[in-house]
Amino acid sequence: RDRLRSRGLGDVYKRQEDQWQARRADHLGGSDISAIFGENHFKTNLDLYYAKTGKVPAVPEEESSASRLNKLWGHISEEYVDAWLSEKYPYNDIITDTNIYAMPGRPYITANIDRMMRKPDGSYCLVEIKTTSPFNKAAWENGNIPIPYIYQVRTYMAILGVWECVVVCMFDRDTLIANTIKRDLDEEMRIIQAVSYT
């Protein structure tokens, strides 16, 4: 029974993932931006070009048991991170938002955010949630955020006009790191201009 229950939960997340992928098929989302700059570990800019233009038939990636479980863990862990954020930032409201936002004047550049936080002063802060192995912890220490995620959240801040983002990385139940990145308008302009000419 437990196995059936967990398979059912996995099926729910799989359907949600398929619907989300269909919605963003012709957009450039946050993770696509890092691929354009050659900073994505999972796809090259050529992979991205083929996927978005359809000029070469995409070869469907065979999904392994490990990749299915990794995706499921990513979804499940977000609920735990919500509770963790409520403890770490007790005066902020945590808001789940599943909308896809488009950049004004460039609707093909989109943001699909994980969470927002509303601060006591009424301002908003983005929240991006990542999960990885404890072996990758060094990349997140001392306030660091891996480059692919910097491209992602800078794009999101540009689209939404939000001035900071907290990037939370969960390594295991007891090890989470939250690093804050502030908006940089010059860097933002460099990213958006490069994406616009792509």
* Chain segment 78-94, per-residue pLDDT in tens: 889 999 999 999 999 99
Rounded to 5 degrees, φ, ψ at 70 are -60, -45
pLDDT of residue 141: 95
Cα 165 to Cα 87: distance, rounded to the nearest angstrom: 18
- pLDDT at 53 exceeding the cut of 80: no
pLDDT of residue 130: 94
| DSSP letter, residue 28 | B
Spell out the residues 6+ positions from residue 172 whose beta carbon is closer than 8 angstroms to its own: 134
Cα 127 to Cα 155: distance, rounded to the nearest angstrom: 13
